[in-house]
Amino acid sequence: MADEKIKVLSEDSFNSFLGSTDTPVLVDFWASWCGPCKMFGPVVEEVAKEYEGKVQVAKINVDENPNISVNHKVSSIPTIILFKKNQEVERSVGYKTKNDLKKIIEKHL
């Protein structure tokens, strides 16, 4: 599913991961049954490679980690949230192209 450039987070690792870096963190909230999530996964992976060292990229499976979804008010997937210094700075819901995703990231670098 995810390559080595994408961190797969859980409820146990989510907060510590976000708090462990000054680098922006892009989190992809997804589920295995979600068609748009499956289409969006390769886009997220491409962006993770392109922005390696500038942005950390992580994935959260909403079925396996429901509390994170509730805490961050994720009600539709795919949702991406960009965090800086452990604070949400931008959110986008639904499939995005690679260029759309890059524009979101570039605003916060």
In a domain, 41, yes or no: yes
Is 1 among the domain residues?
no
**∠50-54-57 over CA atoms, to 5°?**
70
Residue-range definition of the domain harbouring residue 80: 6-106
What pLDDT, in 10s, does the model give residues 43-58?
999 999 999 999 999 9
Q: What is the CATH number of the domain that holds 98?
A: 3.40.30.10
> Among this protein's residues, is 98 annotated catalytic?
no
Q: Are the beta carbons of 97 and 59 closer than 8 angstroms?
A: no
* 34 part of the active site: yes
62 assigned to some structural domain: yes
pLDDT in tens, 62-97: 999 999 999 999 999 999 999 998 899 999 999 999
- Into how many domains does the chain fold? 1
Is the Cα torsion angle 18, 29, 51, 42 positive or negative in sign? Answer: positive
Pick the catalytic residue from 7, 23, 31, 34. Answer: 34
β-pairing, 56-61 with 25-30? parallel
